[in-house]
Structure 1
Amino acid sequence: MPAPSTNSDTSLQETLGALHQPLRGRDDLSPLVEQLADARIVMLGEASHGTSEFYVWRAAISRRLIEEHGFSFIAVEGDWPDCYRVNRYVKAYPQSGDHAESVLRGFDRWPTWMWANWEMVAFTEWLRKHNARADGQPVGFYGLDVYSLWESLDAIVRHLQHNDPQSMPVAERVVNCFQPYGRDEQRYARHTAVSHHDCADEVTRLLLRLAHTHPHFDADPEGDFDAEQNAHVMVSAERYYRTMMMGGAGSWNLRDTHMMETLDRLMQHHGAGAKAIVWAHNTHIGDARATDMLADGMHNIGQLAREQWSAERVRLVGFGSHRGSVIAGHRWGAAMQKLPLPAAPDDSWEGAIHRARGKDGILLLDAERPDPDLLQARGHRAVGVVYDPEWERGNYVPTELARRYDAFIHLEETRALHPLHIEASRAATPPDTYPWGF
């Protein structure tokens, strides 16, 4: 996108320089943590799914919010069944695993590195130890995403076989409806587009059944909630894959609406006074109305949370880096690679902050009285799981920084994430966000 007028460049540099607070260690987070402490929902972003420092700093902020301000749970841009295994582990439920590494290796759907990485192993082990020594309700870890159609069905079947066999006929009708498509989402979606026959009624009946039956799960105090949420995922996933065939903003909006509805259910599950931390890509947590997503008819969870809970109770924190390296694939399902992250152009937000200070830092933004310099629509880097450094200029989202976020963390140089898996596996069908995969 074209750079803003050079007449405003000096003013912008002065504004960014005045706002910039150095970020050298955990203690430097205190002004940010103080701003976030009274929120009911704090969303922490990332400019890529393959950057070590984004995970490390989100973990550091989350630790302080949990330890010092009693936040209740973390919800991430991940599949419900996989993340629920992590939830069981950090709460030391029976037969939940012996080590975070083995639990996180269960994230074997491409892109595996998003949650199966050593940065997450460290945070997961910390969270389990925190829960073991803390009083009151343990802090949970859950997934918000919509992709796990088959995995959620498998989880429901296992639950019913062991705890509610009388409900198995309802689940079997769902299994039978999907059986001809061989666990291939695109095949299912193409067939429904042509035949106008789908499995929507079957998955809805399964959800209603689970919502009205509550067997006792001896090994899992949240078993009912888990089973019902998997049914919600199936309802949304079935619609999502059918909507993908239509193109446009529909499938994106359905996905982020599902994320918001899942967050709402988690808030209700944790009771009055619950406080949530969300980890997701900037493209999900930064208010869509402050980007070109608005013109395309798209919304996201950051926007929906502000609209539903009010801006005073929701805090959105964006992340970005000037240069470095990143884990990604050259195409969907390809082997992960460590790729260079070129220096951001001067006319981007990352480039402007680099020129203003050239150091890691935090910008606390004032949404009520934003500085006009921070309302310019400048490019803001967004790297997905598929990335080609040679096409770097296409990875910038026009952004009004002070409207998109309540705070922004700028890092000068970042490193690639440290994956657990050496090779990618289970190369799934690309979702509607391909080739970005946010």
Structure 2
Amino acid sequence: MSPLGRPASRQADVLAQIRSLAEPLDSAADLDRLVERSAGARFVCVGEASHGTHEYYHWRALLSRRLIEEHGFTWIGVEGDWPDCWRLNRWVRGQGDQDLDAHGVLAGFERWPTWMWANEDVAEFLDWLREENEGRPEHEQVGFYGLDVYSLWDSLREIITWLEANAPEALPAALRAWQCFVPFHEDPHEYAWSTRIVPQNCEADVVALLAEVRRRTLDRGEGDPAAFDAALNAMVAADAERYYRTMIRGDRQSWNVRDEHMADTAELLSRHHGPGAKGLVWEHNSHVGDARATDMFDAGLVNVGQLLRERHAPEEVVLVGFASWTGTVIAAEAWGDPEEAMAVPEARPGTHEDLLHQALGGPAAMVFERDRSGPWLAGRFGHRAIGVVYHPWREAGNYVPTRMGERYDALLWFERTSALRPLHHEEPPEEPEFETEPSGF
């Protein structure tokens, strides 16, 4: 019997299929097949098996650069907060903070884990993107946006600032929402815990604010970036309130609130950039890889990759995953703790990563054709997911049962990977923080 618990002939068939699909991955030119497969898509979602691995960020940037340069992709949506990424968006378009370099503008990322975006790989990409945009007319410049839902207070502040300048008569709605949250000292967990004890919450106020801001921004058209920013901040505030209130009850449906928000934001960005606009989504494999091909589906969870596939024709959505066998990663032992470089153990026997190691060894790219049958593509094996909180000695809990051929349209594989280089270090928390997102399935 093989380590898979199956006859050796079955394992041989699995390894043979992997080898038949793989092509060497040594330079950006080796991405040709994946670039060709992605060229006509409206959404290309590019994952990462951790939030702290250099190779994932580096190769995601190389793929993104080729799609932007060669096939007209004009926006990038990332697993980051809308207000922080809006400042990056303005910077890469030459509209703000031009006295700063990429390192300086990324220093504005303060919400833990800062290393997700404030790292050398992202800084290098943003430097390239700003230079790329300098040679483009404004309507063809590439935007950089945050898709996430955590920035409740920052988004409320941005809304109030916009209303003061553009629609002061609508300020009462914003101030009512702000006053509702004031007793909780900008602590979403304190607010969420209070709703468990007292049924009163701020949902009605933020929903009313969302409706008011939408009404005020709709007639300004797509040509007003500040109005678009205000509308998206209002959407974040409403969904963030619902997210924290659901999360604190231990309800895993908070995952769905978050991923539905991120998918809806990606749709809005596509429309904002005009008919036929093509965009990139940068998120963890757990959000990018179709949840229906994992045990997430059995738990009633959805994700961004699944939602975009369900909403669009097959050729309009491309999902790209990453995987590796061993190496190092930036992560933390507990939510809010300082980051550290950790060793990633060799993959557990019988997992996708172990099979890829046995079949390939070094880096390779695989683009899956329409036929996703066969012993590896249709087989269900564990697929490693490393979160921002990581315990290498508990590796068994980091594997998601996955049918690889259904989860992604392509996979980039690396035998050994190395940790990201953060631009600055996390400060020890003044008091314990609550985890606000799943750290890996």
Residue matched to 1:59: 61
1:106 aligns with 2:101: no
Partners of 1:110 and 1:424 within 8 A in 2: no
Q: 1:175 — aligned with what?
A: 178
3-state SS of paired residue (1:411): strand
Answering whether residue 316 of structure 2 is matched by residue 313 of structure 1, we say: yes
Match of 1:295 in 2: 298
User: What SS does structure 2 have at the residue aligned with 1:50?
Assistant: coil
Corresponding pairs, count? 434
Partner residue of 2:83?
Answer: 81
Deviation at 1:3, TM superposition (A): 3.1
Q: How far is the alpha carbon of 1:182 from its aligned partner?
A: 1.1
Q: 1:42 to 1:426 in 2, by over 3 A?
A: farther
Amino acid across the alignment from 1:113: W
Conservation of the 8 A alpha-carbon contact between 2:385 and 2:440: no
Of residues 173-182 and 190-199 in structure 1, the stretch that sits farther from structure 2 once superposed is: 190-199
Which residue of the partner structure matches residue 260 of structure 1? Answer: 263
Q: How big is each residue's C-alpha offset from its partner over 1:45-69, in whole Å with a ceiling of 9 and x where there is no partner? A: 0000000111110000000000000
Counterpart secondary structure, 2:414: strand
The 3 A distance-change label for structure 1 pair 97 and 213 is farther
Partner residue in 1 for 2:93: 91
Q: CA deviation at 1:310?
A: 2.4
Say whether the 8 Å CA contact 2:246–2:254 is kept in structure 1. yes
Aligned in 2, Cα 1:156/1:247: closer, same or farther, shift over 3 Å? same
Aligned to 1:193: 196
Partner Cα distance (2:401, 2:21) in 1: 21
Aligned residue number for residue 349 of structure 1: 352
Structure 2: distance between partners of 1:253 and 1:307: 15
Q: What SS is found at the alignment partner of 2:400? A: strand
Give the Cα–Cα distance (whole angstroms) in 1 for the partners of residues 98 and 178 of structure 2.
27
Is 1:143 matched with 2:146?
Answer: yes
1:204 and 1:264 map into 2 onto residues whose CA distance is: 20
Superposed CA deviations along residues 378-430 of structure 1, whole A, max 9, x for unmatched, are 11110000111111121111110000000000011111001011234778843
1:23 aligns with 2:25: yes
1:94, distance to aligned residue in structure 2 (A): 4.0
* 8 Å contact from structure 1 (residues 354, 412) kept in 2: yes
1:289 is displaced (CA, Å) by 0.5
- Cα separation, 1, equivalents of 2:379 and 2:372: 15
User: Within the alignment, does 1:251 sit opposite 2:260 as a pair?
Assistant: no
Q: CA 1:424–1:320 in 2, change beyond 3 Å: closer, same or farther?
A: farther
Q: Structure 1, residues 157-194: CA drift from partner, whole Å, max 9, x if none? A: 22223333322222111111101111111221121222
TM-score, scaled to structure 1:
0.95
Letter aligned with residue 131 of structure 1? N
Kindly indicate whether residue 434 of structure 2 is the aligned counterpart of residue 430 of structure 1.
yes
Q: Distance in 2 between matches of 1:424 and 1:113?
A: 12
* Cα pair 1:85 1:96 within 8 Å, conserved: no
Match of 2:155 among 141, 145, 152: 152
Give the aligned partner of residue 381 of structure 1.
384
Match of 2:132 among 127, 130, 133: 130
Q: Does 1:334 align with 2:337?
A: yes
**Residue 417 (structure 1) aligned with residue 435 (structure 2):** no
Contact 2:337 2:428 in 1 (8 A): no
Which amino acid counterpart does residue 379 of structure 2 have in structure 1?
Q
* Partner of residue 397, structure 1: 400
Aligned: 1:235 with 2:213: no
Contact kept, 8 Å, 1:80 with 1:144, in 2: the verdict is yes
CA apart distance, 1:35: 0.8
In 2, Cα distance between the equivalents of 1:328 and 1:293?
Answer: 23
**Equivalent position of 2:207 in the other structure:** 204
Counterpart-to-counterpart distance in 2, 1:96 and 1:174: 33
Higher mean displacement: 184-193 or 84-93:
184-193
Structure 2 CA distance, aligned partners of 1:224 and 1:437? Answer: 35
CA distance in 2 between partners of 1:53 and 1:34 (Å): 22
Pairwise CA distance, 1:207: 1.3
Counterpart of 1:413 in 2: which secondary structure? strand
The one-letter code matched in structure 1 to 2:261 is H
1:132-153: CA deviations, max 9, x gaps? 0124421000011111111111
1:47 aligns with 2:49: yes
Deviates more, 1:330-339 or 1:130-139: 130-139
SS of residue in 1 equivalent to 2:389: coil
Q: What SS is found at the alignment partner of 2:419?
A: coil
Which segment is superposed worse, 282-291 or 363-372? 363-372
CA distance in 2, matches of 1:216, 1:104: 33
| One-letter code aligned to 1:38 | G
Output the CA distance in 2 between the equivalents of 1:263 and 1:12.
36
Is the partner of 2:298 in helix, strand or coil? coil
The amino acid that maps onto 1:45 is G
In structure 2, relative to structure 1, the CA distance for the partners of 1:96 and 1:232 (3 Å cut) is farther
Deviation string 1:220-244 (CA, Å, 9 cap, x unpaired) is 9410000110000000000011111
- Secondary structure of the structure 1 residue equivalent to 2:236: helix
1:13 maps to 15
1 CA distance for matches of 2:7 and 2:146? 44
Give the Cα–Cα distance (whole angstroms) in 2 for the partners of residues 47 and 12 of structure 1: 22
SS in 2 for 1:240: helix
Distance in 1 separating the partners of 2:428 and 2:336: 8
With the length of structure 2 as denominator, give the TM-score of the two structures: 0.94
Q: Distance in 2 between matches of 1:147 and 1:368?
A: 39
User: How far did residue 369 of structure 1 move?
Assistant: 4.0
- Secondary structure of the residue aligned to 2:204 is helix
Cα distance, 1:198 vs. partner?
0.9
1:3 maps to which residue? 4
Give the Å deviation of 1:6.
3.4
- 2:35 is matched with 33
Indicate the SS of the match to 2:297: coil
